[in-house]
Amino acid sequence: MRKVIITEIMSPILRRAGTAFGAYLVGLGVNSDTTTTIVAGLTALAGVALDLILSHLNRKG
């Protein structure tokens, strides 16, 4: 059930949040190459954090 929630709900939300943040940075005048790098890093960080949280909850419960 958790894999379904992650793949069907959390992944699209993280991608949309990354896109929105990237659009915000471009609107502020940040170079688009820099924005792409920042968004990719933040998306990867969010994915790893989510994985660690779910792993912790799985071991705890």
Q: What is the pLDDT of residue 61?
A: 66
Instruction: Give the angle 11-46-57 at the CA atoms, nearest 5°.
Output: 85
* Integer Cα distance of 53 and 42 in angstroms: 16
pLDDT single digits (tens) 11-31: 778 778 877 888 888 888 888
User: Between 10 and 52, whose confidence is greater?
Assistant: 52
pLDDT single digits (tens) 46-61: 888 888 887 887 788 6
pTM of model > 0.75: no
User: Cα 50 to the chain's mean position, in Å?
Assistant: 9
Asked if 53 and 10 touch (Cβ cutoff 8 Å), the reply is no
- Phi, psi angle pair for 30, to nearest 5°: -75, 140
